[in-house]
């Protein structure tokens, strides 16, 4: 416990509390002096909460020490290039500059946040098990549902940041990320943000869902503002993480690692980072504009003042559609990365797969208005956005053809990581095939705002992120710890989760087609959806249980897992050619790339060659 109280995490949280009270107190004092209403329904007034939240976030960062080197630089004091981490587990709750530690910090936080988002889902899923309102009221239901959405999005952003941070420097042979302090900063700002996100529960909640559309979001309770603030801060984490990754890949590669010898996961990370670097600013801006509309009465989205609520949707979806590719591209990269290892064959069409990630990312910038076919936007926009959206199927199809052709005729072995890879392909295929009906205007007018959409995007999120994320954890766990995770429990996890998940999404799509609207807390018993909803709820709890099995396996294997120091999966990738766990400063001897990354099974082929000495 003493180690916790002395940690950067505990210091940060304490300072966040102090900073929030100071910031909010200041605004309250000023308002009292100006003769404005000083207090609100939730203790402080709304401006005091927002300003307090901002000051608290900055106080967290100042207090936990992640910015102290920068402050020294500003004062003209030089600092050490490297920091040594303490040997035990406490390095994970302290500021570390090591990309591997930060990667694990991200991943563990992602799992915790994933659990939180899952818990919210279980709560409102239970409410939906039967028609009629059982134990939640409307606002509580809406807040749970909105929080489920945004908390899961944050969990996914943390999860992909974890994978990219841990893996990319190892895959390209770098000692660390290009900007280690910025990397630590990007991780630590997500902690205060996560707290603000959850705080919205206690500040009246918010009833808009995760999309936060005005005009509803312009008059929701204070919780709405904390939601906006939290997403804004998480957005900065995503922007700076993307920046760091692009600089790392551009500048820190091993000798001989030309662009078409980069591992596919690195290509996927580049595509993801290009989106998060640029488009994220627009969701930040749109949320900031609603915040200002609420605080200062600016009329951006208020038609009475000449504003336009549809503008919000344009700004919001300009990020939030490409964001979907931020979520799935790293996962699809993991699939392409692991498949050849377990098939013992070269990846089919390497160059096409590498380019398809960039293709998806770039086309993804031109499709956002497919979320707005029913919004009342100018009608002439519908058809171009329909075609641009359908175009995404082309680079996505390239990936599927590559996977199928890679599997064809291979010597397939199926340990747990490969199970999740195969599960990911199947589930993502379901998500992909149910996409075009939503992109096509004529069918979307019927499907919009129904459970069909809910089923569709859960398929894409699970196939594109959840399955590959679990595959990556089972696969690289030995690299991080020197032990492997339990195979039996891994298979229990998979066989519990996958059928339950498919039943759940197919059930959602079925009632969606029959007219079940999404985002509502209750439905008419006469619609006849009670049985299906009960099945969906049971399936949801099975998925939740399977993830508990995973978490148990994860923590048990850290201590008691079977030792695995060598090249467990017989991979060609450089990180497996050195012993596990990975040394603190990565490769003792640099390597040079001398061949193609995925030439599995070709006699005499070689990907990397380590230098004889330093």
Partner 1 sequence: MAHTNKPEALRLGITIFIFLAVLTVLEFVIAIALNALPLLVVVALTKAGLVVYYYMHIYKLQDESGGEHDSYAYKTGTNRLGLWLFLLSDSFVFGGLLVSRFNLLGFTRPHLNQILGLGVTVVLLVSSFFMNRAESMMAHGDKKGFLTSTLITIILGAGFVIGVVGVEWQLAAAEGIRASSLVDGGIFYMMTGMHAFHVLTGVIFLWIVYRNARKDVYSAERHWGVEAATVYWHFVDVVWIFFYPALYLIGSVI
Which spans of this chain sit near partner 1 (rule: CB under 8 A)? 73-76, 178-179, 182, 239, 243-244, 246-247, 250-252, 277-282, 284-286, 289, 292-293, 296-300, 302, 305-308, 311, 314-315, 318
Percent of the chain as helix, strand, coil, to the nearest 5 = 70, 5, 30
Handedness of CA 280, 286, 288, 291 (dihedral sign): negative
Q: How far is the CB of 299 from partner 1 (least distance, A)?
A: 4
C-alpha 301 chain-centroid distance: 29
Per-residue three-class SS string for 407-461 = HCCCCCCCCHHHHHHHHHHHHHHHHHHCCHHHHCHHHHHHHCCEHHHHHHHHHHH
Q: CB under 5 to 8 A by kind: which of Cu ion, partner 1, none does 306 bind?
A: partner 1
Q: How far is the CB of 520 from partner 1 (least distance, A)?
A: 31
Q: CB under 5 to 8 A by kind: which of partner 1, Cu ion, none does 321 bind?
A: Cu ion
| Residue owning tokens 């064959």 | 345
Residue 42 in 3-state DSSP? strand
Q: CB under 5 to 8 A by kind: which of Cu ion, partner 1, none does 535 bind?
A: none
CB 585 within 8 A of CB 557: no
Q: CB under 5 to 8 A by kind: which of partner 1, Cu ion, none does 289 bind?
A: partner 1
| Residue owning tokens 């409102």 | 124
Q: How far is the CB of 280 from partner 1 (least distance, A)?
A: 8
Q: Does 448 bind Cu ion (CB under 5 A)?
A: no
Burial of 590 (0-12, 13-18, 19+ CB in 10 A): middle
Q: CB under 5 to 8 A by kind: which of partner 1, Cu ion, none does 362 bind?
A: none
For residue 483, what is the enclosing H or E element? strand 483-484
528's CB contacts (< 8 A; 6+ apart) are none
Q: Does 294 bind Cu ion (CB under 5 A)?
A: no
Q: How far is the CB of 313 from partner 1 (least distance, A)?
A: 11
Burial of 275 (0-12, 13-18, 19+ CB in 10 A): buried
Q: CB under 5 to 8 A by kind: which of Cu ion, partner 1, none does 122 bind?
A: none
* Position closest to Cu ion via CB: 321
Q: CB-wise, 45 or 521, nearer to partner 1?
A: 45
Q: Does 261 bind Cu ion (CB under 5 A)?
A: no
Q: Does 458 bind Cu ion (CB under 5 A)?
A: no
Q: CB under 5 to 8 A by kind: which of Cu ion, partner 1, none does 388 bind?
A: none
Q: CB-wise, 385 or 569, nearer to Cu ion?
A: 385
Binding segment for Cu ion (CB under 5 A), chosen from 1-9, 319-327, 393-401, 526-534, is: 319-327
Total residue length of the chain: 614
Q: How far is the CB of 318 from Cu ion (least distance, A)?
A: 11
Q: CB-wise, 251 or 559, nearer to partner 1?
A: 251
- Between 320 and 339, how does the x/- string for binding to Cu ion read (CB under 5 A)? -x------------------
**Helix H segments across 212-263?**
216-219, 223-251
Using CB under 5 A as the criterion, which residues of the chain lie in contact with Cu ion when the complex forms? Answer: 321
């Amino acid at each position: 416990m003493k180690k916790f109280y002395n940690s950067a995490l505990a210091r940060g949280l304490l300072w966040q509390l102090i900073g929030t009270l100071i910031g909010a107190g200041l605004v309250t004092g000023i308002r009292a002096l100006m003769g404005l209403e000083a207090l609100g329904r939730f203790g402080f007034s709304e401006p005091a909460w927002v300003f307090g939240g901002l000051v608290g976030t900055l106080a967290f960062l100042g207090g936990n020490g992640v910015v102290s080197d920068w402050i020294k630089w500003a004062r003209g004091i030089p600092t050490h290039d490297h920091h040594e981490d303490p040997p035990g587990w406490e390095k994970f709750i302290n500021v570390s500059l090591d990309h591997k530690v930060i990667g694990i910090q991200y991943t563990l936080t992602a799992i915790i946040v994933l659990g939180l988002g899952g818990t919210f889902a279980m709560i409102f899923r239970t409410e939906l098990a039967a028609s009629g309102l059982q134990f939640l009221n409307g606002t509580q239901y809406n807040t749970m549902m909105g929080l489920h959405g945004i908390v899961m999005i944050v969990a996914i952003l943390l999860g992909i940041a974890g994978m990219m941070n841990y893996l990319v420097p190892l895959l390209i042979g770098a000692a660390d990320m290009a900007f280690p302090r910025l990397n630590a900063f990007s991780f630590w700002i997500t902690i205060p943000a996560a707290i603000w996100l959850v705080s919205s529960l206690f500040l009246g909640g918010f009833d808009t869902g995760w999309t936060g559309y005005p005009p509803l979001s312009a008059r929701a309770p204070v919780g709405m503002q904390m939601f906006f603030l939290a997403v804004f801060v998480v957005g900065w984490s995503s922007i700076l993480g993307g920046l760091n990754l692009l600089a790392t890949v551009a500048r820190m590669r091993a000798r001989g690692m030309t662009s078409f010898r980069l591992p596919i996961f690195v290509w996927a990370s580049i595509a993801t980072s290009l989106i998060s670097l640029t488009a994220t600013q627009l969701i930040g801006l749109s949320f900031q504009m609603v915040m200002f509309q609420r605080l200062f009465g600016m009329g951006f989205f208020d038609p009475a003042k000449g504003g336009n609520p549809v503008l919000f949707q344009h700004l919001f979806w300009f990020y939030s559609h490409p964001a979907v590719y931020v979520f799935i591209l790293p996962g699809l990269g993991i699939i392409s990365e692991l498949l050849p290892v377990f098939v013992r064959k070269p990846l089919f069409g390497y160059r096409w797969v590498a380019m398809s990630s960039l293709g998806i990312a770039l086309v993804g910038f031109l499709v956002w208005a497919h979320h707005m076919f029913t919004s009342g936007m100018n009608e002439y926009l519908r058809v171009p956005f329909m075609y641009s959206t359908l175009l995404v199927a082309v680079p996505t199809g390239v990936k599927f053809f590559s996977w199928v052709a890679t599997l064809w005729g291979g010597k397939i072995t199926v340990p747990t990581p490969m199970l999740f890879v195969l599960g990911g392909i199947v589930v993502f295929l379901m998500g992909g095939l149910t996409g075009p009906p939503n992109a096509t205007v004529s069918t979307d007018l019927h499907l919009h705002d129904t459970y069909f959409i809910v089923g569709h995007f859960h398929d894409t999120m699970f196939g594109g992120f959840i399955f590959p994320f679990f595959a990556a954890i089972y696969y690289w766990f030995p690299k991080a710890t020197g032990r492997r995770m339990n195979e039996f429990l891994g298979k229990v996890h998979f066989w519990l989760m996958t059928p339950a998940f498919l039943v759940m999404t197919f059930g959602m799509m079925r009632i969606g087609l029959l007219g079940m609207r999404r985002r509502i807390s209750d439905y008419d018993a006469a619609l006849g959806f009670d049985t299906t909803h009960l099945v969906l709820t049971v399936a949801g709890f099975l998925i939740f249980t399977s993830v508990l099995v995973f978490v148990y396996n994860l923590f048990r294997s850290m201590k008691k897992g079977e030792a695995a120091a060598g090249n467990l999966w017989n991979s060609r990738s450089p990180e497996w050619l050195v012993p596990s766990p990975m040394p603190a400063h990565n490769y003792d001897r640099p390597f040079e790339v001398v061949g193609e990354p995925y030439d599995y099974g070709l006699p005499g082929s070689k990907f990397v060659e380590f230098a004889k000495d330093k």
